[in-house]
Amino acid sequence: MRTTRRGFLTGSLGVAAVALAGCGNSSGPSPSSSGSASPAGPSFVFGNAAAAPTLDPSLTSNLETSRIAAQILEPLVKADQDTGKPVPGLATDWSVSDDGLTYTFTLRKNVSFHDGTDLTADVVCENFRRWSENTQTEQVNQTAYQTIFRSTKADGSSRESIYRSCTAVDDHTVRLAISTPYPSVIKALTQPAFGIGSPRAFKDHGEYVSHPVGTGPFELKDWDGRTATLTRFPDYWGEAAHLGKLTFVTVTSTQKRYYEILEGGVDAYDQIGIDDFVNLARRGYQIQQRDPYSVAYVSMNQQAGPLSDIKVRRAAAHAITRSPIADKYYPDGTKVANDFVPELFKVSGSDTQSAYRQDQSLAKKLLEESEYDGKELQFYYPTDVSLAYVQSPEAVFAQIAGDLTSVGFNIKPVPIRWTDDYLSKINQANSDRAFALTGYMGAYRDPDDFLSPLFRQENPQFGFSDPDLFDQVQKASSMSDGGERNELYKKINKSVAEAMPAIPLAFPISAVALNSRVVSYPLTATGVADFSKIEVHEEK
């Protein structure tokens, strides 16, 4: 029987080493060479599991982009580290009109950007205009703005957005107008994608995507596509960062990240390998585990011939051994997913589990009854990357492909390097792509954050149209939190299971490893921490 890692780490080893709350530990390895003190404050190196394709978070939902950019750019409204609820950011307070169509924000005074530009209402509105204009460009992957303000159709063309205007009432008052009630808009604005940038900087779009300029506690000094160097911003309006220098390095190999922290190359890293939890604990390293806030799934493209047949899609769902996958390839605490919304929202329907249950005899029967003739089916999967929703994509693909083959599918592997823009390739209309291994990482605390990007409209990943389902998702997004909205989300989850555009695999646990220098680390479910709150022991 497999020992539970969480219990093993905290008990059986007898090591007071694993600190789920992020306290320091003097029994760990020697201080990192990266952490030598300087007059500006201590340095800190964080190991990202993937490279950021850009540093402009308004153009991508990539976790690594958001993590770096969130230290530089600040939104009007931030998310509370523990609850995810909106708290003041660059806006000190806000109000909503009775009809839910107008939001008024009061801005902080005496806030300056890293280039000396003052924060004003006009500056905020310039950012909204930029996000809106970016919608008009050809964009395969949905941006946060396009999803929240409903400004893009499935084929990438523009549609009438619910965004109406941003008005500077006075220097420090902003009025945002939308055309349709969307009660979650304040929560949505907490995303790094809505970090406010300096208009002086983003006049040169090509420069801004690699060198954003914001009001945050850190300013960007250098980025070469794999390593980003930030320093404390001396004129920050809020509490100064403890760190003087912050470096993000890209280490795509799970094993290499493990050895980097052992050898002092990084002070912390994301996406701990399954086999490294015990070894890190034995050596006295701290481990912080995040609550599940992402979903791994296999998309099924109904434009790929046989997958237009619901019996073929159901056969695939019943063929996959999801429990062994969750148990073998994810940290303990990871649960099998029976829909696409994490458990914390409590909107799972009681009857969705049977739609995806493992039953290979049933899978074979459905495939025999279908029109599938043994045609080779392309299965895309990413390589050379560890993701929050799938740490070992090659291994997970191999397991799934084996399951599908065992019931009669003819699978053609299509490995694609993550850095070759994997997400764009699986989000393009392509009748040859049948399956794709992917997932979604939540960015703000609302069920709509998971369902709208996937099932609000036609999606090239799935190649299907279901107007009733799309209308349900739209309706739920316009409702206020409460029992009626939760019931509608349960209905949506049931509708998705019936249409079966994809197969949910798991709600993964993920974790961060910290060395003994770290006194506190502000863990968040989204993976985007406020690094200005990191505290470390300084070398003497």
Enumerate the domain spans of the chain.
5-51+219-291+510-536, 73-215, 294-507
Structure letter (DSSP) for residue 241:
P
Q: What is the pLDDT of residue 142?
A: 79
Give the DSSP H or E segment for 382.
Answer: strand 376-383
Tell me, which fold does domain 73-215 have in CATH?
Dipeptide-binding Protein; domain 1 (3.90.76)
Q: What is the pLDDT of residue 3?
A: 34
Q: What is the pLDDT of residue 453?
A: 92
CA pair distance 8, 280, nearest whole angstrom = 12
Give the mean model confidence (pLDDT) for residues 35-59.
84
Q: What is the pLDDT of residue 496?
A: 96
CA pair distance 300, 326, nearest whole angstrom = 20
Q: What is the pLDDT of residue 136?
A: 60
Mean pLDDT of the chain: 89
Instruction: Output the pTM of the full model.
Output: 0.89
Q: What is the pLDDT of residue 309?
A: 97
Structure tokens at 307: 């997958």
CA pair distance 24, 516, nearest whole angstrom = 6
85-94, 131-140, 457-466, 477-486: least confident range = 131-140
CB 130, CB 228: distance < 8 Å: no
CB 431, CB 305: distance < 8 Å: yes
DSSP reduced 3-state for 397: helix
For residue 300, pLDDT beyond 70: yes
Question: Among the residues of 149-248, which ranges form H helices?
Answer: 185-188, 199-202, 205-208
Listed in sequence order, the residues at least 6 apart from 482 whose beta carbon sits closer than 8 Å to its beta carbon are none
Listed in sequence order, the residues at least 6 apart from 236 whose beta carbon sits closer than 8 Å to its beta carbon are 215, 216, 217
Structure tokens at 24: 């320091």
Geometric angle at alpha carbon 62, from 224 and 24, rounded to 5°:
80
CA pair distance 112, 128, nearest whole angstrom = 18
Closest CA to 69 of 202, 170, 210, 179: 210
What residues are paired with 435 via a beta bridge? 300, 379
CA pair distance 402, 15, nearest whole angstrom = 39
Structure tokens at 538: 């300084």
Give the mean model confidence (pLDDT) for residues 209-227.
97
Q: Tell me the pLDDT tens digit for each residue of 381-402.
A: 999 999 999 999 999 999 999 9
**Angle of helix 360-369 relative to helix 310-319, nearest 10 degrees?**
160
Q: What is the pLDDT of residue 138?
A: 52
CB 287, CB 18: distance < 8 Å: yes
Express as a percent the part of the chain with pLDDT over 90: 82
CATH class of domain segment(s) 5-51+219-291+510-536: alpha beta
CA pair distance 393, 381, nearest whole angstrom = 7
For residue 286, pLDDT beyond 90: yes
Give the mean model confidence (pLDDT) for residues 323-328.
96
Listed in sequence order, the residues at least 6 apart from 259 whose beta carbon sits closer than 8 Å to its beta carbon are none
Q: How would you classify the pairing of strands 268-270 and 43-48?
A: parallel
Q: Name the residue with tokens 């794999």.
A: 226
CA pair distance 45, 263, nearest whole angstrom = 13
CB 124, CB 107: distance < 8 Å: yes
CA pair distance 320, 305, nearest whole angstrom = 20
Q: Tell me the pLDDT tens digit for each residue of 146-165.
A: 889 987 654 454 557 899 99
Closest CA to 199 of 215, 220, 219, 176: 215
Starting at the edge strand found earlier in the chain, the sheet holding 433-441 runs: 335-336, 502-507, 294-300, 433-441, 376-383, 410-417
For residue 355, pLDDT beyond 50: yes
Q: What is the CA radius of gyration of the chain?
A: 23
CB atoms within 10 A of CB 370: 17
**Angle of helix 393-406 relative to helix 322-329, nearest 10 degrees?**
160
Closest CA to 70 of 212, 239, 235, 270: 212
Q: Tell me the pLDDT tens digit for each residue of 162-196.
A: 999 999 999 999 999 999 999 999 999 999 999 99
CB 178, CB 163: distance < 8 Å: yes
Q: Give, rounded to a whole angstrom, the gap between the first and last alpha carbons of the chain.
A: 47
**Within 13 A of 192's CA, how many CA atoms are on the CB side?**
27
For residues 206, 211, 213, 218, the Cα torsion angle rounded to the nearest 10 degrees is 170
For residue 359, pLDDT beyond 90: yes
31-40, 71-80, 231-240: least confident range = 31-40
For residue 54, pLDDT beyond 60: yes
CB atoms within 10 A of CB 290: 21
Q: Name the residue with tokens 């420069």.
A: 207
Q: What is the pLDDT of residue 39?
A: 46
CA pair distance 273, 266, nearest whole angstrom = 16
When the candidates are 3.10.105.10, 3.50.50.60, 2.60.120.560, 1.10.150.120, the CATH number that belongs to 294-507 is 3.10.105.10
Q: Tell me the pLDDT tens digit for each residue of 447-465.
A: 999 999 999 999 999 999 9
CA pair distance 207, 212, nearest whole angstrom = 8
Q: How many residues does the chain have?
A: 540
